[in-house]
Chain A
């Protein structure tokens, strides 16, 4: 019999709330964490040179309030977010599995930029000494190591980096590892703190960032809004979870992946559709059984049009309820898929599909059944969460109530 994989713990730190409860409130009321960007690293006397001013930042985060002095010393913002979200999820799951039977699989795309970039700038500009903890604070796998150390997890542990799909790929891999019996349990998700001056300028140069605020699937959408944060899930085999009386928050029913293999930025609807198809096949269900899709929905002209085409291809005339959480959280690159996984699990758990915050005038040409203005009753058992990364790396999770 196939082992089933359930979620028994969740944690997050996001621009719209630093607990799952606060995040849920933001997602279902449409309270956005997007605001004027406050620079931490802009050199004195410099102007940002950006064509946009808004991002989704985690506000008021004080590492010392959450972490030990050793943890603070060895980390930068991205890994600190990972530790905070993981601690919340682990506290909820209350595992007693041996450390060697637990995996850590995290997604982080950009590593420790908030430390590495200013440090490198000092070296290049004034030949300054480089801080001895630059390597350990900057490596993309830092968060994975820190989470493993914090919870004495000695099983398989690794980070993966697939740009905007990192968190979703990580959860998918962890799901496979638990389902196959390689491990009893896994802590998995994504974390990212990419909002450095250099990173913002690089995205600005690509001309895909909204000069206003991201409005996924809106007729007048004008780009994405960058964000940061972390979200973690505790996964374990269903029978074990039930036997120990754990509260089951949701189930991962399937996972699908594909590669567009066509263009480094322009997405291909065939790739997204094939990943959705793979997720449905893995879950052993038909499109009719899906009640809600949490879209990748970045708010760029290209992403939303291509994703809509892929959704129409899978769900046909009947359609499916669709919304995008990025209007609340911004796009936190490697973390975003994990944040959206939490949002999708919450949607099934609470029986209501969230709406896309701030979406007033939908783009009718997309032909989607968009959830507007208020959450919609969600009676079906299954939902999808889509991640479609730059470079055509697609990852889709299928959740079950």
Chain B
């Protein structure tokens, strides 16, 4: 598995655990709305992602994330910027 896919799988796994859903039902195209992820879920999830990847997600980014793909790309960029 490529490191980039690894990151995506890890994030999908985190979403799956927090929303108690099978990970295979979640893809890049899945919207947060369809997963019933609201503003508080986003803050909760972001905290866990920040802890896991050692990054800091800006407030503005949290507001603009609409899909799992948005989140994966955003986290990937922050991880790359850190390296």
Instruction: Report A's interface with B, CB cutoff 8 A.
Output: 205-207, 263-266, 302
- Measured CA separation A302–B38 after assembly (Å): 13
Number of interface residues of B (CB under 8 A): 7
- Cross-chain pairs A/B with CB under 8 angstroms, 15 sampled: A205-B43, A205-B47, A206-B43, A207-B43, A207-B59, A207-B62, A263-B38, A263-B40, A264-B40, A265-B39, A265-B40, A266-B38, A266-B39, A266-B40, A302-B39
* Residue-wise interface mask of B (45-79) relative to A, using a CB-CB cutoff of 8 A (1 in contact, 0 not): 00100000000000100100000000000000000
Number of A-B contacts (CB under 8 A): 15
Q: Nearest residue in B to A209 (C-beta to C-beta)?
A: B59
Question: Distance (Å) between the CB of A268 and the closest chain B CB?
Answer: 13
- Measured CA separation A302–B43 after assembly (Å): 14
Question: Distance (Å) between the CB of B58 and the closest chain A CB?
Answer: 10
The interface residues of chain A lying within 8 Å CB-to-CB of B62 are: 207
Instruction: Report B's interface with A, CB cutoff 8 A.
Output: 38-40, 43, 47, 59, 62
Question: Distance (Å) between the CB of A51 and the closest chain B CB?
Answer: 8
Question: Distance (Å) between the CB of B32 and the closest chain A CB?
Answer: 14
Question: Distance (Å) between the CB of B43 and the closest chain A CB?
Answer: 6
- Measured CA separation A391–B55 after assembly (Å): 30
The interface residues of chain A lying within 8 Å CB-to-CB of B40 are: 263-266
- Measured CA separation A205–B40 after assembly (Å): 11
Q: Nearest residue in B to A206 (C-beta to C-beta)?
A: B43
Closest 10 CB pairs of A and B: A207-B59, A265-B40, A207-B43, A266-B39, A206-B43, A205-B47, A266-B38, A264-B40, A207-B62, A266-B40
Q: Nearest residue in B to A223 (C-beta to C-beta)?
A: B59
Question: Distance (Å) between the CB of B61 and the closest chain A CB?
Answer: 11
Additional 4 contacts, C-beta under 8 A, given A264-B40, A266-B39, A266-B40:
A207-B59, A263-B38, A263-B40, A266-B38
The interface residues of chain B lying within 8 Å CB-to-CB of A205 are: 43, 47
Question: Distance (Å) between the CB of A150 and the closest chain B CB?
Answer: 41
Question: Distance (Å) between the CB of B18 and the closest chain A CB?
Answer: 15
The interface residues of chain B lying within 8 Å CB-to-CB of A264 are: 40
- Measured CA separation A206–B59 after assembly (Å): 10
The interface residues of chain B lying within 8 Å CB-to-CB of A302 are: 39
Question: Distance (Å) between the CB of A265 and the closest chain B CB?
Answer: 5
Counting chain A CB atoms within 10 Å of each CB, the highest count among B39, B40, B62 belongs to B39
Counting chain B CB atoms within 10 Å of each CB, the highest count among A207, A263, A264, A302 belongs to A207
Q: Nearest residue in B to A264 (C-beta to C-beta)?
A: B40
- Measured CA separation A264–B38 after assembly (Å): 11
Question: Distance (Å) between the CB of B46 and the closest chain A CB?
Answer: 8
The interface residues of chain A lying within 8 Å CB-to-CB of B59 are: 207
Question: Distance (Å) between the CB of B79 and the closest chain A CB?
Answer: 20
The interface residues of chain B lying within 8 Å CB-to-CB of A206 are: 43
Q: Nearest residue in B to A207 (C-beta to C-beta)?
A: B59
The interface residues of chain B lying within 8 Å CB-to-CB of A265 are: 39-40
Q: Nearest residue in B to A205 (C-beta to C-beta)?
A: B47
The interface residues of chain A lying within 8 Å CB-to-CB of B43 are: 205-207
The interface residues of chain B lying within 8 Å CB-to-CB of A266 are: 38-40
